[in-house]
């Protein structure tokens, strides 16, 4: 039984991404011109990206053939063709090659015509797999379960399998165009000099990068029980790699923004410090005012306490004097009694 995977279509025709920045300079053809140096430093991003016509079949459509029926029948059900032996997950190849059906898809190619390097990222996402288990190794367990291996491959020998969650991504850096392919050319209609690809670019050695898919499935499972149509979606993204000068400009901008932020923070901290200082001074002034208000009652309290202490001292002195007077009276009485006794003795 065949299980045919479908792929979402992308774009139409061959898409060329071109981002150029230049400063036109109007002069007559008879005049000489000195181009400003900053014009020469402008970066141009021009990348040829692969695209597919809506009516075209996707190179990433695949056929699961665990019993090798396509090979045994010479792909009769698909119009005939040369089939790779032992391949059980097949892509229908349209480009020139040894096979019409093989375990490798046709590759799509990215061309970098930019004056700076670019980073190309290829991603794949497989969905609607049902009970099929996605694995990262072609050495499938022999337990009768349906397993499938899919991976991104490129012309540099890299192979990155789809993870268990059904996704995969791979990035590569592409080199800039040769310096000789860009030149300033006079536009006779506008009288402007334009910095663009020259005639020499036709034979230029631009950096290219090609990618595709490969796959395989387990052969001992009863695939007739599984009525699923897995769908693979492949996307590609290109990002320019900034030059050192552009990086420095970006860093300067970031530092300027950071300094502004720090300045705002310092200003905010100073304002907070001033507010706290004013608050402390205000509280100190209030405490002084309260101290002055409380100073007079406190003095009166201290005076009352001193008067009370003096009174207590006077009372104590009077008590001591009274005690001394009483003691003196007792002594005098005792002396009088003794004198009376002596007189009585003489009389007798």
Query: What pLDDT shows up at residue 233?
Result: 93
Do residues 80 and 70 make contact, with C-beta atoms less than 8 angstroms apart?
no
- Greatest distance between any 2 Cα atoms in the chain: 181
- What are the Cα distances from residue 63, in Å, to 59, 85, 128, 310? 12, 14, 15, 119
Average of pLDDT values for 148-174? 95
Residue 68 exposed, middle or buried by CB count within 10 Å (0-12, 13-18, 19+): middle
Residue 6 has pLDDT above 50, yes or no: no
Contact 174, 209 (CB under 8 A): yes
* Lowest mean pLDDT segment, chosen from 42-46, 136-140, 148-152: 42-46
Tokens (6 digits) for 308: 């009370």
d(CA 219, CA 347): 163
**What are the pLDDT digits (tens) for 17-51?**
444 333 333 333 333 344 444 445 468 899 999 98
Lowest-confidence range among 34-38, 117-121, 277-281, 318-322?
A: 34-38
The region of weakest confidence among 2-11, 107-116, 215-224, 233-242 is: 2-11
Confidence of residue 181 (pLDDT cuts 50, 70, 90): confident
pLDDT at 31: 39
Residue 301 neighbours by CB under 8 Å, 6+ apart: none
Q: What pTM does this model have?
A: 0.61
If you average pLDDT over each of 41-55, 59-73, 290-304, which comes out highest? 59-73
**108 or 7, higher pLDDT:** 108
Residue 325 has which token pair?
């007077």
Token representation of residue 173: 């850096």
**Torsion sign across C-alpha atoms 50, 52, 56, 60:** positive
């Amino acid at each position: 039984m065949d299980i045919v995977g479908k792929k979402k279509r992308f774009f139409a025709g061959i898409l060329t991404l071109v981002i150029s920045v230049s400063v036109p300079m109007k002069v007559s053809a008879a005049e000489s011109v000195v181009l400003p140096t900053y014009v020469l430093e402008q970066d141009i991003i021009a990348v040829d990206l692969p695209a597919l016509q809506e009516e075209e079949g996707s190179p990433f459509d695949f056929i699961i053939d665990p019993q090798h029926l396509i090979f045994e029948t010479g792909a009769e059900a698909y119009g005939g063709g040369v089939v790779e032996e032992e391949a059980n997950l097949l892509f229908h190849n349209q480009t020139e090659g040894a096979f019409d059906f093989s375990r490798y898809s046709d590759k799509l190619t990215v061309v970098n015509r930019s004056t700076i390097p670019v980073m190309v990222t290829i991603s794949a996402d497989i969905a609607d797999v049902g009970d099929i288990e996605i694995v990262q190794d072609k050495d499938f367990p022999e337990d009768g379960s349906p397993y499938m291996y899919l991976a991104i491959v490129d012309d540099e020998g890299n192979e990155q399998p789809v993870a268990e969650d059904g996704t995969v991504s791979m990035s590569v850096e592409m080199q800039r165009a040769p310096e000789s392919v860009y030149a300033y050319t006079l536009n006779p209609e506008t009288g402007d000099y334009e910095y663009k690809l020259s005639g020499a670019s036709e034979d230029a050695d631009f950096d290219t990068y090609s990618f595709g898919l490969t796959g395989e499935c387990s052969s001992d499972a009863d695939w007739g029980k599984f009525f699923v149509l897995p769908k693979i979606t492949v996307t590609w993204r290109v990002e320019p790699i900034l030059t050192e000068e552009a990086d420095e400009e970006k860093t300067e901008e970031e530092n300027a923004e950071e300094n502004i932020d720090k300045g705002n923070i310092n200003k905010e901290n100073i304002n907070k410090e001033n507010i706290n200082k004013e608050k402390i001074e205000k509280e100190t002034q209030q405490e002084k005012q309260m101290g002055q208000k409380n100073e007079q009652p406190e003095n009166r309290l201290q005076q009352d306490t001193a008067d009370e202490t003096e009174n207590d001292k006077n009372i104590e002195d009077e008590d001591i004097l009274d005690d001394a007077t009483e003691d003196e009276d007792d002594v005098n009485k005792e002396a009088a009694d003794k004198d009376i006794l002596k007189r009585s003795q003489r009389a007798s």
